[in-house]
Structure 1
Amino acid sequence: MYRLLIVDDEPIIVEGLFDKFLQLTTHAFEVYKAYNGEEALGIARRARVDLLLTDLKMPGMNGLELQQAVQLLWPKCKTVFLTGHSDFQSIQSSMRGGAFDYVLKMEMDAKIIEAVTRGADAIAEEHSHARLLSDARHRWTQALPILCKEYVLELLEGERTSPQGRAARFAELRLPLDAGAPVHLGIGRVDEWQGDIRPGDKSLLLYGVHNVIEEHFAGGCRIVFVTYGNDRFLWLLQMKPGTERETAMQRQSRILGIVESAQTACRTYLKLPCSFVAGCEPCCWEELPRKFGQLDFLLTRGLGLGREILLSDASPSPAATNDTAARVQEREVTQLMQALERKDDIGFHRRLADISSAIGETEAIRSGMALTLFYSLSASFLQLMNRSGLLESLPERIDMNKLLGAQEHAAWRDAARFFGELADLIIEKVEDESGRETSEVVERVQSYVREHIDGDLSLARLSEIVFLTPFYLSRLYKQQTGRSLTDYITEVKLGMAKEMLVSTNRKIYEIGIHLGFHSSPYFNHFFKKQTNMTPQEYRDTWTPRAVKQD
């Protein structure tokens, strides 16, 4: 839906066109109106304008000045000018200034509607599906290295995908890896940067490390290199056919020999002392997060003096194994709580079941990973409940001792069931609260309409009082009430008009002004359209009945 702003200093023209475009069935417009350039510019500053239909000659800010001002705010806005016979010099100036079209005021409304709808069609063409896809494809190609990096890091964080899903993603990102084959992981770190290095040079030097790694592994493998953090990098490696007969010891010696040579090249040619931990044992993709945690532990706390370390995953310490498991569990808890915050109950319960299967449902919660997991979930739930304002209301419906004490559960199965029920309750509460807040927004808007029936009731103004965008307010209101805001405003104005016509002696034009109609003809048109009677006919028909009933 495109936003159309109609501007003219003659109210009868504005009201008539406003009504015409609201009734249009071939195109859906969100229509705004203004009676001078300054008022129109105020609307443009509050809400996006896609189409501007404006008079050229207006007191104060004229149409050309308005077009230029709106164009600065919304460069893609299409302007159609309304003009008279004597304005050809202004027409030429407007077309040179980027106007889309112009229509003579003496022409029929159909010509004006045709010009505006052609402007809408032009916008649609600019945003056409094929064009957007083409632009997106071009930008996507430029962003491919960043997308590859993000996806690899997601895999290391425990992103759950099927082999088919990975294969499709690899093909899309042009990653030269087999989604169904085991993979070697290696990680590294720049131990020290030169003292006079500039920030931009770090990326260049890391790219140099990338080239060194690829050149040393070239020929016998497929490799993907990724940087992360300020000084870290990693590579994913798959051996090409022909190395299957290597023993584990031979493979370890060969990989460590290649990495040692790369380490020397970094020191010699790039002047970068680097540490490396090579994954000599291949792992399946599902085990990649655990392998990454293991190697990262060795890089951070492994054997050595902290500079130019060269280690492998061949003999990890028990501490490394425990640390890896703890890191993986921490990521899993984070993803579990993210699913809950999104109100994704299916995703939450699926991830909780996966975590529980790794723990062992019948295991008592006394020590080890089960105890760690319990209190990690307990703390995460408390934080979420506090942020959501549920710490006061939820304790009335749950046993807080079961949230705070692992000893309250006989086995992990009981604790998992409790956390699942608590998640369902939180989602229910949050959705109820969201529904209540939405109802309050609707009530506030309706109250404002009734109290300011003679004022500015545009979507732009109504959205300001509830701090939402016009488009979102329109969607929210219709979703909540089943009808549009325009329909509600029409209903209120019509109801008030009927009541005032029957119960007061005010003149019809005064009633129109009281209800926000700037001209008597437009009020008459509005009323007759809704009732098939003019205001005077309605008054003549119903006033005697009201008197008789009294």
Structure 2
Amino acid sequence: MYRLLIVDDLPIIVDGLLELFEQTSHLPLEVMSAYSGEEALEVLSDHRIDIVVSDIKMPGIEGIELLREIKSQWPACKVIFLTGYNDFHYARSAITYGGFDYILKVESDEKIIQSVERAIEKIEEEQDQVQMIARAQSKMRLALPSLQKEFLWGLLQGKQVTEEELRQAFKEIDIPLDATMPVYLLMGRVDAWKEMFTMPDKALLTYALQNICDEYLSAQVRSFSVVFELSKIVWIIQPKASDELSGHTGGLDWMRAHRYTSGILDSVQETCKKLLRLSVSFLLGSEAIPWNSLSDRFHSIKYGLMQGHGLLHEVIMTDKDMQKADPTDKAESYHDGFFHARVQLLMTCLENNHREQFNKLFVELTAIWNDPDTPCERKSELYHSLSSVFLFYLYKYRDIRDQVNLQVDLDILFRYDDSASWPELVEYYWKIADCIFEWNAQRGLQLPTEVVNKVHRYIEEHIATDISLTALADYVGLNPSYLSRLYKQMTGIGLSKYVNDYKNVIAKDMLLNTSMKVNEIAAALGYNSALAFIRFFKKQNETTPQDFRTARSPAPGPHS
């Protein structure tokens, strides 16, 4: 049984079509009617409608606007337009926005029935299970590259997951790697772009480099690659699966995989130079690493392509070559990527008020200040990096800067002299960090009433937008989770309930005290469609907006 909705502002048309379809017994139809676009939306909010036969020109919500609303809520619904306007513009608009058919009102009853029959056939075709599965798989295939890249990029940036989570993710998004085995990392780079190249040109050429290297690698190893910063690619590599393969990286399979990868890089360079006219460089990790070390090795290799021999063109090197380049700077050179990643993460901890992780990172970084064998230049580099982190944070948040300045002399952040020893600097930065975290903790306790008032003001001023918890948290300067807990603690209700209650009050006021149409009220309250607003209103009040307005409107006088 299919539900058919007839919509027209002329009762004679609606009633005539109702009679026509009730007499058409061969069609499995449940027929419903509406005498305006607004009334049709209310029917659609309560029922799944399969086919709509509607006038294209009506007072209030016209047919084209009604079509948009129907497609946003019931994409599979087939909309057939009837009109007395023999105008190509209307027909073209109807088809452009997803209309199923277009029939003039002067056409015969038989043609209208035939159009509904075709709509039913189309619905049955679309409901075929095999086709629906195929479409879902097709959409998944289209989305898969983005999902794969997003997940692996998170791992490269330090996201920690368990082996089981990794295995499950690889299975779900079809990444052909083993979550239980270590990996080699290979990084490639386009050395330089010609000035004539546009951004799409660069993206296409980088994609070509990725494909060329993928083709060479696939002959002997399994790999997965991610493009980043437009001109760089990282490959995660493992030996091909076999019964003999184990996690012991000193085994023959691992040695062969590394040797093969290293050996094909010359060929990749030559192919890129010949086919793409591009100069490319590579840096290959010399050792297989566990997945939880992926981010550290990624940043080390990335940094290796940004200094020393890595700055030259058409380079092929390993991270061991990078260390050998200057034996006196071995530790510094190898760990620079790790160091810079940790400094960035330290800033993230301050921003997100993660005290425990901050403490751990700070201890790791400042250990060199207590190490007599670490060169002074390295210690100075850490001083400047930490000073930059704290200065950026303090000048981003003026209130906290003023608070810290009362307890700590901030001049040391701008210049360092020998009057303070390195161990004393550790204490100095600990003191600043303590001030920041204590201030953040106190801020959560101070003036909660003011926070609630600011939240209410923001909601009132942005009622026409999609009000999210993240936007509210940014506005009041608090963590979203903390703001949600604080608000409920102070008011006794959740934030989402308050937003819904406030929107409901405004909606009732607009319905009773303005002449705004339902779709205009929906837009004023931030809803993407009138149908979504009708559903919200009915859930809040157990009645539709139109019924609410009608029931509370003053009855017309005897002479009106």
Counterpart residue identity of residue 433, structure 2: F
Residues 1:76 and 2:47 are matched in the alignment: no
Cα distance change of structure 1 residues 391 and 261 upon mapping to structure 2, 3 Å threshold: same
- Displacement of 1:221 in angstroms is 1.9
Query: Which among 367, 381, 400 is matched to residue 360 of structure 1?
Result: 367
- Displacement of 1:185 in angstroms is 1.0
Partner of 1:308: 314
Within 2, Cα distance between the matches of 1:239 and 1:418? Answer: 49
Is the 1:188–1:274 Cα contact (8 Å) retained in structure 2?
Answer: yes
Partner of 1:533: none
Partner of 1:385: 394
Is the 1:189–1:274 Cα contact (8 Å) retained in structure 2?
Answer: yes
Partner of 1:286: 292
Cα distance change of structure 1 residues 326 and 303 upon mapping to structure 2, 3 Å threshold: closer
Residues 1:299 and 2:311 are matched in the alignment: no
Is the 1:297–1:320 Cα contact (8 Å) retained in structure 2?
Answer: no
Deviation sequence 1:296-322 (CA, Å, 0-9, x none):
344333438832112222332465752
Counterpart residue identity of residue 388, structure 1: Y
Residues 1:271 and 2:268 are matched in the alignment: no
Cα distance change of structure 1 residues 201 and 304 upon mapping to structure 2, 3 Å threshold: closer
Within 2, Cα distance between the matches of 1:359 and 1:349? Answer: 16
Residues 1:262 and 2:268 are matched in the alignment: yes
Query: Which among 317, 327, 340 is matched to residue 330 of structure 1?
Result: 340
Is the 1:209–1:266 Cα contact (8 Å) retained in structure 2?
Answer: yes
- Displacement of 1:326 in angstroms is 3.8
Question: TM-score, with normalisation over the residues of structure 1?
Answer: 0.53
Cα distance change of structure 1 residues 253 and 69 upon mapping to structure 2, 3 Å threshold: closer
Deviation sequence 1:235-265 (CA, Å, 0-9, x none):
1111245684459998765543221222222
Counterpart residue identity of residue 262, structure 2: L
Is the 1:279–1:295 Cα contact (8 Å) retained in structure 2?
Answer: yes
Is the 1:279–1:312 Cα contact (8 Å) retained in structure 2?
Answer: yes
User: Kindly, what percent of the aligned residue pairs are identical?
Assistant: 22
Within 2, Cα distance between the matches of 1:51 and 1:164? Answer: 43
Partner of 2:172: 172
Q: Which secondary structure does the structure 2 equivalent of 1:423 belong to?
A: helix
Counterpart residue identity of residue 312, structure 1: T
Is the 1:190–1:272 Cα contact (8 Å) retained in structure 2?
Answer: yes
Cα distance change of structure 1 residues 422 and 202 upon mapping to structure 2, 3 Å threshold: closer
Gaps of 5+ in 2: 1-35, 47-57, 75-81, 85-93, 100-132, 473-483, 510-547, 556-560
Is the 2:272–2:279 Cα contact (8 Å) retained in structure 1?
Answer: yes
Cα distance change of structure 1 residues 326 and 400 upon mapping to structure 2, 3 Å threshold: farther
Gaps of 5+ in 1: 1-35, 45-49, 53-60, 79-87, 91-95, 100-132, 446-462, 493-517, 526-550
Partner of 2:217: 217
Is the 1:255–1:280 Cα contact (8 Å) retained in structure 2?
Answer: no
Partner of 1:147: 147
- Displacement of 1:482 in angstroms is 8.7
Is the 2:282–2:317 Cα contact (8 Å) retained in structure 1?
Answer: yes
Within 2, Cα distance between the matches of 1:421 and 1:137? Answer: 53
Is the 1:364–1:412 Cα contact (8 Å) retained in structure 2?
Answer: no
Is the 2:349–2:355 Cα contact (8 Å) retained in structure 1?
Answer: yes
Q: Which secondary structure does the structure 2 equivalent of 1:181 belong to?
A: coil
Cα distance change of structure 1 residues 137 and 397 upon mapping to structure 2, 3 Å threshold: farther
- Displacement of 1:156 in angstroms is 2.6
- Displacement of 1:224 in angstroms is 1.0
Partner of 1:208: 208
Query: Which among 437, 449, 453 is matched to residue 423 of structure 1?
Result: 437
Is the 1:156–1:289 Cα contact (8 Å) retained in structure 2?
Answer: yes
Q: Which secondary structure does the structure 2 equivalent of 1:214 belong to?
A: helix
Partner of 2:357: 350
Within 2, Cα distance between the matches of 1:284 and 1:246? Answer: 18
Within 2, Cα distance between the matches of 1:134 and 1:471? Answer: 36
Deviation sequence 1:21-59 (CA, Å, 0-9, x none):
xxxxxxxxxxxxxxx99xx9xxx9xxxxx969xxxxxxx
Is the 1:298–1:320 Cα contact (8 Å) retained in structure 2?
Answer: no
Within 2, Cα distance between the matches of 1:522 and 1:178? Answer: 66
Partner of 1:11: none
Within 1, Cα distance between the matches of 2:168 and 2:68? Answer: 43
Cα distance change of structure 1 residues 137 and 201 upon mapping to structure 2, 3 Å threshold: same
Is the 2:394–2:401 Cα contact (8 Å) retained in structure 1?
Answer: no
Is the 1:336–1:352 Cα contact (8 Å) retained in structure 2?
Answer: no
Within 2, Cα distance between the matches of 1:304 and 1:380? Answer: 27
Within 1, Cα distance between the matches of 2:401 and 2:330? Answer: 41
- Displacement of 1:213 in angstroms is 1.9
Counterpart residue identity of residue 330, structure 1: H
Counterpart residue identity of residue 307, structure 1: H
Counterpart residue identity of residue 59, structure 2: N
Cα distance change of structure 1 residues 486 and 175 upon mapping to structure 2, 3 Å threshold: closer
Cα distance change of structure 1 residues 364 and 488 upon mapping to structure 2, 3 Å threshold: farther
Deviation sequence 1:253-290 (CA, Å, 0-9, x none):
55432212222222234433322222232223333334
Is the 1:356–1:413 Cα contact (8 Å) retained in structure 2?
Answer: no
Is the 1:275–1:307 Cα contact (8 Å) retained in structure 2?
Answer: yes
Within 2, Cα distance between the matches of 1:361 and 1:192? Answer: 37
Within 2, Cα distance between the matches of 1:429 and 1:237? Answer: 48
Within 2, Cα distance between the matches of 1:211 and 1:352? Answer: 43
- Displacement of 1:162 in angstroms is 3.1
- Displacement of 1:480 in angstroms is 6.9
Within 1, Cα distance between the matches of 2:362 and 2:196? Answer: 48
Within 2, Cα distance between the matches of 1:236 and 1:68? Answer: 51
Deviation sequence 1:147-196 (CA, Å, 0-9, x none):
22233333332223333333333233322222332211111122355776
Cα distance change of structure 1 residues 230 and 481 upon mapping to structure 2, 3 Å threshold: closer
Q: Which secondary structure does the structure 1 equivalent of 2:278 belong to?
A: coil
- Displacement of 1:223 in angstroms is 0.9
Taking the TM superposition and a 5 Å limit, the aligned residue runs for 1:154-169 are 154-169=154-169
Cα distance change of structure 1 residues 382 and 239 upon mapping to structure 2, 3 Å threshold: same
Cα distance change of structure 1 residues 139 and 380 upon mapping to structure 2, 3 Å threshold: farther
- Displacement of 1:329 in angstroms is 3.1
Counterpart residue identity of residue 359, structure 2: L
Counterpart residue identity of residue 184, structure 1: Y
Within 1, Cα distance between the matches of 2:391 and 2:223? Answer: 43
Partner of 2:450: 436
Within 1, Cα distance between the matches of 2:397 and 2:70? Answer: 37
Deviation sequence 1:88-130 (CA, Å, 0-9, x none):
999xxxxx9999xxxxxxxxxxxxxxxxxxxxxxxxxxxxxxx
Partner of 1:515: none
Q: Which secondary structure does the structure 2 equivalent of 1:233 belong to?
A: strand
